[in-house]
Structure 1
Amino acid sequence: MAKSLRIDAVSGKMQERGWTQAHLAQQVGVSSQTVTNWLKGRDFPRPNALLKLAVALGLGFEKLVDTGDATEPVIAFRKKAGTKTTDHHISKARGMGHLLKPLVPLLPDTRPLRTLITSPDCEYGQLRKAVEQTRAELGIGQHAVLSYSHLIGQFLRNAAVLVPVLWGKKDRHENALHIRLPEEDVTFVYLNLDVRLEDFKFWIAHELAHVYTPELAGTDEGEDFADAFAGALLFPHECAEAAYREAVGKPQSGLIATLTRYAHQHQVSLNTVHQQVKRYAKNAGLSLLPVEDRTIHQVRNRGTGATVSEALFDPMPPDANKYISVASSVFQSEFFIALERLVKERDVGAGYVQQVLDVPLKDSVSIHRALAA
């Protein structure tokens, strides 16, 4: 169904603040006529304007926008070139979202001050500002290595529940799944641990961008911004500048060695460093480093690389108790704590566990047994 503004909610907040349409337009950065068109239902705000409108009025997305069904889960798969998210994928994920609803009352009832990026823009300067503000809130400088603990802590503070899963190696988009429940104002982020370590931090930062920009979740604009924000957050302008100045003028083997060293230092992929250095050079009007994207991919793909699951669990696969323990301790996830309460208090069976985790029945039985013990 088409989205529309909840005019009564907007008008009520304007009246409460004593704002005219002109004043609201000034706050959002649009013309008075644009606001008039919104309030008469002639037009709907673009994503950037919608986020600014939500912040200006102090209204959450679900109170500001009528989607036709406020209970319908919002789904976002990470976009990957050459792959397509089918109706089957979306339908299955929405089904998981509806099944997650009974877990929400069992999660900690915390309503922290959420972080919102009100002007999600892939333009270099705007992206740099967003990254500077985010890192400042995290208490780290622009040259500092962004740790997993910094990233993971942000999900907890923004009512987003990380759900680490063992889905095996995937070649498509299914390695990360974002399910937002607008009515409950909670987001579940599934992260596949069977992926390369060097890619994992990027994926977490990508999903964090979705949490910061809830209106863009499930849209192409949201995917583009999340990818751009993740790269810039993990390897900011200052790091890219330093890497460029150190690598420029070196033969190809030397510059690749330089970029690889920065990638290892920041625990990200060589491609992430290369792309951020390339964006820095383009923005600064400098010559690009003489190395093609395909060469970078060839270098990074020479070794298969350890997976997150292999780093966390020895031996593989882990037993259910170890898996649940790591989810709670390493990822600060309340998911299995809430699921355990559901299993014990409502006598929920292994079939439910299988559906909300999307795992084989054999694995769900083991997990259910561990939770019920």
Structure 2
Amino acid sequence: MQKVIHSDNLKLALQARGWTQKDLAREIEVTAQAVTNWMQGADFPRPDKLLKLATTLKLNFADLVASSTKDQPVIAFRKKGGAKTTDAHILKAIAMGSLLKPLVPYLPELRSLRVQIPSPTTQYDALQATAAEVRARIGLGGQAVLSYAHLIDQFGTNGAVVVPVLWGEKQNHKNALHILLPQEQVTFIFLNLDTRLEDFKFWMAHELAHVYTPGLAGTEEGEDFADALAGALLFPKSLAEVAYPQAVRHSSVTGEIRELQRYADEHSISLFTVFSEINRYAKAHGLPDLRCKDTDVHAIRNVSRGKLISETLFEPTPPEPTAYIAAAENVFRSTFFIALKRMIKEQGTGAGYLQQIMDIAMQDAVTLHGELSR
């Protein structure tokens, strides 16, 4: 079902402000005819105008848009720290998802047989059993290093299209974005390359958990499970039960943290992940927590960070479009730009479409569009 503006709610919002349709058009910088077309269901706002419409009238997506819930994109954010996800963020992401639908026919055929976790739970023993099954599927033992190449393979075999993006290290609200198109049965996963390796692997594992549990995508339960499975995949019980006695034998917090850091470096994951998983192991087995606290761990992390993924992939940064597209295809095995190139050549799709679906600056979209148009 095609999305249309919920005209009754829009009229009520205008009446509450004493506005006419012309007033609204002037406020959001469109023509009066555009507003009329939205109200009559003859047209639907572009994502930037939809977002401006929602924020101006203080309406959320459910109030503003009348659509089939079956067809509505399902959104899950992997946020930066304690950043709050607002209705505006959700609205913008859903609009991105709607715009991605026309791209789906240009994707290579995706595998229909996909792995799903039937009864996801954060209960320790069950979660560890699930992590062990995923590792076995990948071909890894319990103490082997899980690389992001292993995770990329799982995305590709489970109907997920990875979209590596350069959103900046601090400027963007999100560090990963999961958009599931339920009717098309395709998932797009946007991963910010301006991210430290030790965090990047966790976010990828988190997103993979969403792929395995599509029924939980976009829910708090889904976020909790995805975080829990990510930690268990990167530092499972078989590692924690070895690391715990090695850490607690140290008589000082400094020595304990040094032991945890050794494991973090060996597995290219964050010190906090090691700390958290060892403490979860201890709690599940009735053992005392580590002496060090999360504040100690965060203090160390804040002064000792690895390179950004973008810095390891590209020299110099930001990369030229050719290098960026090549990395997407060769490193992340993404079919996203292959599909975009087909769409551009067949439909004459413009740079504005790239700007909207990738949430990037128009100048970057124009440069990228020029490369894909060749």
SS of equivalent to 2:177? strand
Correspondence for 1:183? 183
C-alpha separation between the residues in 2 aligned to 1:81 and 1:321? Answer: 32
Correspondence for 2:91? 91
Correspondence for 2:282? 281
Asked if the contact 1:131–1:233 (Cα under 8 Å) also holds between the matched residues in 2, the reply is yes
Gap change, CA 1:233 and 1:369, over 3 Å in 2: same
Asked if the contact 1:78–1:173 (Cα under 8 Å) also holds between the matched residues in 2, the reply is no
Q: Does 1:242 align with 2:268?
A: no
Correspondence for 2:28? none
Q: Does 1:222 align with 2:222?
A: yes
What TM-score results when the alignment is normalised by the length of structure 1? 0.80
Aligned ranges for residues 48-67 of structure 1 at < 5 Å?
none
Gap change, CA 1:362 and 1:206, over 3 Å in 2: same
List structure 1 runs of 4+ shifted beyond 6 angstroms.
none
C-alpha separation between the residues in 2 aligned to 1:261 and 1:178? Answer: 32
What TM-score results when the alignment is normalised by the length of structure 2? 0.80
C-alpha separation between the residues in 1 aligned to 2:172 and 2:121? Answer: 26
Aligned ranges for residues 134-173 of structure 1 at < 5 Å?
134-170=134-170, 173=173
SS of equivalent to 2:174? coil
The one-character-per-residue Cα deviations of 1:239-259 (angstroms, maximum 9, x if unpaired) are 011111111120222211111
Q: CA deviation at 1:84?
A: 1.7
Asked if the contact 2:73–2:180 (Cα under 8 Å) also holds between the matched residues in 1, the reply is yes
Correspondence for 1:257? 258
Q: CA deviation at 1:73?
A: 0.5
- Which amino acid in 2 is paired with 1:140? L
Q: Which moved more, 1:119-128 or 1:300-309?
A: 300-309
SS of equivalent to 1:179? strand
Asked if the contact 2:79–2:175 (Cα under 8 Å) also holds between the matched residues in 1, the reply is no
Gap change, CA 1:204 and 1:195, over 3 Å in 2: same
Correspondence for 1:269? 270
Aligned ranges for residues 119-134 of structure 1 at < 5 Å?
119-134=119-134
Q: CA deviation at 1:305?
A: 3.1
Gap change, CA 1:312 and 1:231, over 3 Å in 2: same
Asked if the contact 1:202–1:230 (Cα under 8 Å) also holds between the matched residues in 2, the reply is yes
The one-character-per-residue Cα deviations of 1:27-59 (angstroms, maximum 9, x if unpaired) are xxxxxxxxxxxxxxxxxxxxxxxxxxxxxxxxx
Q: Does 1:115 align with 2:115?
A: yes
C-alpha separation between the residues in 1 aligned to 2:206 and 2:216? Answer: 12
C-alpha separation between the residues in 2 aligned to 1:139 and 1:307? Answer: 27
Gap change, CA 1:171 and 1:365, over 3 Å in 2: closer
Correspondence for 2:352? 351
Number of residue pairs matched by the alignment? 307
Q: Which moved more, 1:218-227 or 1:242-251?
A: 242-251
Asked if the contact 1:77–1:173 (Cα under 8 Å) also holds between the matched residues in 2, the reply is no
Asked if the contact 2:80–2:175 (Cα under 8 Å) also holds between the matched residues in 1, the reply is no
Q: Does 1:363 align with 2:354?
A: no
SS of equivalent to 2:303? coil
SS of equivalent to 1:78? strand
Q: Which moved more, 1:326-335 or 1:100-109?
A: 100-109
C-alpha separation between the residues in 1 aligned to 2:134 and 2:143? Answer: 13
Structure 1 unaligned blocks of 5 or more: 1-66
Correspondence for 1:205? 205
Q: CA deviation at 1:304?
A: 4.2
- Which amino acid in 1 is paired with 2:104? V
Q: Which moved more, 1:154-163 or 1:250-259?
A: 250-259
- Which amino acid in 1 is paired with 2:149? S
Asked if the contact 2:152–2:333 (Cα under 8 Å) also holds between the matched residues in 1, the reply is yes
